[in-house]
Amino acid sequence: MKIVDIIPTTVSVPLEGPLRHSNGEHWGRFVRTIVEVVTDEGIVGLGEVGGGGEGAELQFKRLKDYLVGHDPFQLEALRYKICNPTASLYNNRMQYMAAIEFACLDIIGQKLGQPVYNLIGGKLRDKVSFASYLFFRYESEDGVYPEVRTIEQLVEHTRELKKRYGFTTHKLKAGVFPPEYELEAYLALAEEFPDDRFRIDPNACWSVEDSIWFARQIEHVRNDYLEDPTWGLNGMRRVREKTTIPLATNTVVVNFEQLAQNILDPAVDVILLDTTFWGGIRACAKAAAICDTFQLGIAVHSSGELGIQLSTMLHLAAALPNLTFAIDAHYHQLRDDVIEGGKMKYKNGQIEVPDEPGLGVKLDRDRLKEYAEMYEELGSYCYDRDSRRPGWYPLLPNDRWADPDMR
């Protein structure tokens, strides 16, 4: 079997509302590039990567020179073709490698009549538990979905998500408001839902000192972990020395070299495995095995997925023996998806692992066309910008109290 074509299509899929984070906002939609890898046997595998737009499409078109004629079963050779360590000094191909690997595993599974989880060790669980992903957000442009800004709004939003999806673990995306306000919000959630578990992630925007202070205020909460409160292995190490809460990361341990450094001189307790950031499902499975050896915790990270990448997360989570945490997903924030049948369904805070050959998802051509046209109309957006707070940076202490939202 040989690869004969690679077809990238960038889409813009609407969210319930613009999601706010420490660097700015998701502007009411996710921009994702869908990748179809076509073989000479007519089998088509699906991949997905975030953002990029025209740049991502151009990168995949350039990769055709490397990959047309390649056997999709030869995954290690594929990795060296795309992510040659020396060549990678001059480009960032890890996420593109992940998208191609997703598609190749999808092809292999379809060819063998096996779901992807059987290609990475077999299924240990039929359903995967998810954490809610709580964001402060602006009201949607059409007025259907209200803002989440006040603590009362956040608690009510969480209550509604629990009722609709059944979540019992909750993750708050912080770094939007001063830590004092977000502490009050986090404690309000813990008080309102005393039987649930919690985690918080300010995207590494707090100082070490603020991180230590915050951690000490929440040590009595049923915390899974404190995710990326500050930046860098040294910063995380300083915070870890001052708290009993496990620290987690998807920013400072995202490859095997960093994982080795963290094992030799621990700064992080829980490694958040992202099938895109780590370069594919297989790399995440390898990293999980290393973490198991050294008794580091693992969870599965979300980078703003549609159904194709969500399927990769489900197959990975199904096969990991040392996965003890509910996994993250932005998925419930989406209004729609590009896969057949629309969005996957939650039940009791879980989603069933697809059992069909390959990734177990297929493209809905009408939806793909609709959201590709939406991307053509709207274009990309600047991730590191808040449309309503120009010039705002979370680490400037003199500005954080001047935020009009805090008056």
Residues 212-250 pLDDT 10s: 999 999 999 999 999 999 999 999 999 999 999 999 999
CA–CA gap between residue 197 and residue 226 (Å, rounded): 12
Q: Across residues 103-107, what is the average pLDDT?
A: 98
Within this chain, do residues 237 and 91 fall inside the same structural domain, yes or no?
no
Within this chain, do residues 85 and 201 fall inside the same structural domain, yes or no?
no
Q: 385 lies in a domain?
A: no
> Looking at 21, 70, 173, 330, which residue is catalytic?
173
| Residue 21: CATH number of its domain | 3.30.390.10
Within this chain, do residues 168 and 285 fall inside the same structural domain, yes or no?
yes
CA–CA gap between residue 203 and residue 250 (Å, rounded): 9
Q: Which amino acid is at 276?
A: T
As given in the structure block, the two tokens for residue 58 are 């151009």
Judge contact between 22 and 394, C-beta under 8 A.
yes
| Residue 176: CATH number of its domain | 3.20.20.120
Judge contact between 311 and 343, C-beta under 8 A.
no
Angle at alpha carbon of residue 35, lines to 171 and 354, rounded to 5°: 55
| Contacting residues for 396 by C-beta, under 8 A, at least 6 apart | none
Number of structural domains found in the chain: 2
Within this chain, do residues 252 and 369 fall inside the same structural domain, yes or no?
no
> Which residue has tokens 């985690």?
199
> Looking at 21, 301, 315, 330, which residue is catalytic?
301
Judge contact between 361 and 308, C-beta under 8 A.
yes
CA–CA gap between residue 150 and residue 285 (Å, rounded): 39
CA–CA gap between residue 329 and residue 370 (Å, rounded): 23
CA–CA gap between residue 223 and residue 236 (Å, rounded): 17
Q: 357 lies in a domain?
A: no
Q: 62 lies in a domain?
A: yes
Where residue 381 falls among pLDDT bands split at 50, 70, 90?
confident
State the pLDDT at residue 87: 57
State the pLDDT at residue 83: 85
Within this chain, do residues 218 and 318 fall inside the same structural domain, yes or no?
yes
Residue 293 belongs to what domain range? 118-352
Q: 144 lies in a domain?
A: yes
> Is there a catalytic annotation at residue 170?
no
The beta strand positions in 72-151, using DSSP E, are: 127-129, 132-135
Determine which of 53-57, 204-208, 244-248, 331-335 has the lowest per-residue pLDDT on average.
Answer: 53-57
| Contacting residues for 267 by C-beta, under 8 A, at least 6 apart | 233, 234, 236, 237, 240, 247, 252
> Is there a catalytic annotation at residue 173?
yes
Within this chain, do residues 237 and 335 fall inside the same structural domain, yes or no?
yes
323-365: per-residue pLDDT in tens? 999 999 999 999 999 999 999 999 999 999 999 999 999 999 9
Q: 404 lies in a domain?
A: no
Within this chain, do residues 102 and 180 fall inside the same structural domain, yes or no?
no
Residue 102 phi, psi dihedral angles, 5° rounding = -50, -50
The residue among 64, 67, 56 whose CA lies nearest residue 93 is 56
